[in-house]
Every structure is written in structure tokens, then in C-alpha cells.
């Protein structure tokens, strides 16, 4: 069965760690990093990468436009 | 299973082209960034990047011109719609919109805003309503909810002392010149998508000469509300939306 998988790339230095993406992810993929970026914010990251479907909910709501979403179909 | 390849053909969503690389000065989780992004996407989709003039207000979004790569003018406090009127009348082929907060559009700028709507100017007002004066430290605004705590109403807004909040979108809907009035929010991905559609419709109507449009975006101010960004979005849904219900208020075909 074909499966659609997604992944995200977070611009870590642009991210402010607001966590709105974490709350918006329907598949509970995201979490905030335990490390901080140059400004002291914990950037968003994929905690459960396999569950990502590439729906882009996180990127759509991100106020700082720091999430890029990719999606691929596997046969 | 194989990993998703990071390449152009798999790209679903990326930072809009018209959003600059400057890191926004807004607090983490602020609705302004999301609405900026929607405006940038819509302008690019309509192919109007080279002939759009935005008018920025006084308030947190005074620096909007640093973040969206179009032409901008900066208006005096509350006067954005007066400036937009002039720009649109002198250059009718231009898409002209204002980006204003509730302290700008519905407090100090009430007269300019109401009269621009009454004249039916072919401009769009993007109205960010977070029920508070965010930039100056979270004081009460005319839109502050009853009982809501702010820096100047520490025991909650009391109507006997502070009066009642008002809904400028409903007020403008009574004016014949205002032809599209809608209220949206950006606290959930689905709402963000609806808000984008509303902004696009307003911009298209403006270019078709159909009159004045107001897109109110019920927004958060997590610093002013003293809540985390995620808790602010929940507070908005529980407290703001009952008083400021979402949806189209007026649309003249």
C-alpha cells in the first residue's frame, strides 16, 4: 500500500520556541528541543519523525515562517 | 521505510517569497507573524508584488515594512486609512491595504476608519484585534473584554468605570460603502487557511473596485495577556470568540 510520509526542516536560528506548532500538529510529531539556539530559544524539532504526514499544519501556523515541509509518496 | 528526500519536487510549504529574512521583533507566538505571512502569500499569488502599497500603523506592527517585501508607507497613529485613501485615489491601479491593530484602527483612528468605510474607498483594512494595547505594555483598549485584566484594569474591566467594549466590524457593516466585512482568526491551522481565503477575497474585491473591505483578525497578545503562546490561543477560543464570533458579517455581491 502506498504511504505518504512527510518531514520538516526547521530554521533553528529563526525559531522562537513558541510551541504553537507543537500544539497544532495532529500527529503529535513535534516537540521543543532541550538545546537552545543563539537567542536562547528552544527550537522546534521532530520527536517522532515517522509519524509525520507532511500536512504542513505546523508550517501554516508558524508565526516566524521557520518551517519548510516536504512530502513524498512511497509505493 | 525510506526517508523523505529534501528536494524541490517534494516541497509542500516554505517561507513565502515576499517575507524577508529579517527575524521579526514580535514576541514568540504573536499572531502578527502569521498574518504577515498570509498577506505575503496572497500578494504573491495575485501577482501584485510590484504594485502593492501597504500602510503600516503605530503599534507593534509599525515595523511591518521590515518583513514584507513590498512598498510601504507609515502613517501617523490611527491615520492609516486616510493615507491609504490618498494612495489609492492617486494610483488606482495599485492594491492598497492598511495593517492596523485595535488601538490604532478602533481607538485613536476611529474617525478616519469609519469615514473611509463610509466613503467606500477601494482599500482593504487588515484589523488585528487582540483586545489590548500590546506595544505600550498591555493597557486596556476599547476592545478589551468585560472582566479582562490589563495593566490599567488590574481587577478586570468594570463597565461602570471603563465602559463597554465595542465591535467596529459590526458598526462598519451598517455603512453602505463597506461591502465586505469579515472576522477571522489565526489560532488554529484551519482558521489560518480560512483567514488567508478572506484576505485574498478582500484584495480581489479591492482591485475590482467593489468598495471598502475590512478583515478583522481576532488575535493573541501573549505578553500582554501574561500567558504562554499556546495558552493564549486557548484563552482566545474560550473568551474572545464568544464576544467576537468568526465569519463573514457582510458581503455585497
What is the ipTM, given to two decimal places? 0.94
User: What is the CATH number for B129?
Assistant: 3.40.50.970
Grid cell digits, residue B248: 463573514
**Are the beta carbons of B166 and B143 closer than 8 angstroms?**
yes
Contact B4 A24 (CB under 8 A): no
pLDDT band for B2, please (50, 70, 90 cuts).
Answer: confident
Q: How far apart are CA B145 and CA B241, in angstroms?
A: 11
Is the confidence at residue B40, as pLDDT, over 80?
yes
b/e B210-220 (16+ beta carbons within 10 angstroms → b): bbbbbbbbbbb
Best of A70, A71, A74, A75 to substitute, by most chain B Cβ atoms within 10 angstroms, is A70
Residues of B in contact with A58 (CB under 8 A): 189
Cα–Cα distance for residue pair B88/A17, rounded to 1 Å: 39
Length of chain A: 75
Judged by CB atoms closer than 8 Å, whether chains meet at B230 and A65 is answered as: no
B212 forms bridges with which residues in the sheet? Answer: B178
Q: In this structure, which long-range contacts are made by residues B242-247, counting pairs with CB atoms below 8 Å and at least 24 apart in sequence? A: B243/B145, B243/B165, B243/B167, B244/B129, B244/B167, B244/B183, B244/B216, B244/B218, B245/B183, B246/B183, B246/B184, B246/B185, B246/B191, B246/B218, B247/B182, B247/B183
Residue A32 belongs to what H/E stretch? strand A30-36
Query: Does any CB of chain B come closer than 8 Å to the CB of residue A54?
Result: yes
Give the list of residues 6+ apart from residue B234 with CB closer than 8 angstroms, or none. Answer: none
| The CATH number of the domain covering residues in A3-74 | 3.30.70.20
Q: Which residues contact B9 (CB under 8 A, 6 or more apart)?
A: none
Give B17's pLDDT tier (boundaries 50, 70, 90). Answer: very high
DSSP reduced 3-state for B189: helix
Average pLDDT over residues A8-34: 95
What digits encode the pLDDT tens for the residues B68-118?
Answer: 999 999 999 999 999 999 999 999 999 999 999 999 999 999 999 999 999
List CB contacts (< 8 A) between A13 and chain B.
23
Q: Which residues of A touch B233 (CB under 8 A)?
A: 20, 23
Partner-chain residue, chosen from B7, B13, B34, that has the shortest CB–CB distance to A56:
B13
Residues of A in contact with B23 (CB under 8 A): 13-14, 64
pLDDT of residue A60: 96
CA-based radius of gyration for chain B? 18
Of A13, A18, A60, the CB nearest to B13: A60
Q: Is the dihedral of CA B219, B246, B14, A35 positive or negative?
A: positive
Burial of B234 by CB count in 10 Å (0-12 exposed, 13-18 middle, 19+ buried)? middle
For B148, list phi and psi in degrees, rounded to 5: -80, 135
Strand partners, B122: none
Q: How far is CA B196 from CA A61, A75, B29, in A?
A: 11, 33, 18
- Res B42 pLDDT > 80: yes
Give A61 to chain B, closest Cα distance, Å: 5
Query: What domain count does chain B have?
Result: 1
Question: How many Cα atoms within 13 Å fall on the side-chain side of residue B39?
Answer: 32
Helix axes B80-90, B110-119, angle to 10 degrees: 30
Res B4: pLDDT: 87
Element of type H or E holding B168: helix B168-173
Name the DSSP letter for residue A75. -
What is the structure's pLDDT at B1?
A: 62
Q: Which domain holds residue B242?
A: 27-251
B215, B32, B251, B34: which is closest to B123 by C-alpha? B215
In this structure, the strands spanning B11-13 and A67-74 are: antiparallel
The percent of residues in chain B predicted with pLDDT above 90, rounded, is 97
Beta strands in chain B, from DSSP E residues, in sequence order: 11-13, 52-56, 71-74, 95-101, 124-129, 178-185, 212-218, 247-251
Amino acid at each position: 500500500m502506498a504511504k505518504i510520509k512527510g518531514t520538516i526542516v526547521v530554521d533553528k536560528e529563526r525559531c522562537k520556541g513558541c510551541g504553537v506548532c507543537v500544539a497544532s500538529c495532529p500527529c503529535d510529531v513535534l516537540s521543543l528541543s532541550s538545546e537552545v539556539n543563539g537567542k536562547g530559544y528552544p527550537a522546534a524539532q521532530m520527536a517522532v519523525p515517522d509519524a509525520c504526514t507532511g500536512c504542513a499544519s505546523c508550517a501554516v501556523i508558524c508565526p516566524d515562517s521557520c518551517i519548510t515541509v516536504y512530502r513524498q509518496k512511497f509505493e | 521505510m525510506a526517508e523523505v528526500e529534501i528536494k524541490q519536487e517534494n516541497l509542500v510549504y516554505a517561507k513565502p517569497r515576499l517575507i524577508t529574512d529579517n527575524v521579526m521583533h514580535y514576541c514568540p507566538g504573536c499572531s502578527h507573524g502569521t498574518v504577515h505571512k498570509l498577506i505575503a502569500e496572497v500578494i504573491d499569488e495575485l501577482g501584485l508584488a510590484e504594485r502593492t502599497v501597504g500602510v503600516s500603523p503605530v503599534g507593534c506592527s509599525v515595523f511591518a515594512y521590515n518583513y514584507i517585501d513590498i512598498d510601504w508607507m507609515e502613517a501617523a497613529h490611527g491615520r492609516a486609512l486616510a493615507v491609504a485613501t490618498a494612495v489609492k485615489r492617486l494610483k488606482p491601479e495599485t492594491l492598497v491595504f492598511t495593517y492596523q491593530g485595535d488601538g490604532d484602527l478602533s481607538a485613536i483612528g476611529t474617525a478616519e476608519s469609519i469615514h473611509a468605510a463610509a466613503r467606500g474607498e477601494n482599500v482593504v483594512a487588515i484589523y488585528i484585534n487582540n483586545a489590548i494595547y500590546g506595544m505600550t505594555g498591555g493597557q486596556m483598549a476599547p476592545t478589551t473584554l468585560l472582566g479582562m485584566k490589563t495593566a490599567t484594569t488590574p481587577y478586570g474591566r468594570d463597565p461602570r468605570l471603563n465602559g463597554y467594549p465595542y465591535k467596529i466590524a459590526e458598526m462598519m457593516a451598517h455603512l453602505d460603502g463597506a461591502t465586505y466585512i469579515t472576522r477571522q482568526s489565526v489560532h488554529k491551522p484551519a482558521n489560518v487557511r480560512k483567514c488567508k481565503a478572506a484576505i485574498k477575497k478582500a484584495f480581489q474585491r479591492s482591485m475590482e473596485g467593489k468598495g471598502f473591505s475590512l478583515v478583522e483578525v481576532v488575535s493573541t497578545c501573549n505578553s500582554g495577556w501574561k500567558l504562554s503562546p499556546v495558552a493564549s490561543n486557548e484563552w482566545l477560543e474560550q473568551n474572545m470568540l464568544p464576544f467576537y464570533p468568526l465569519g463573514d458579517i457582510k458581503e455585497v455581491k
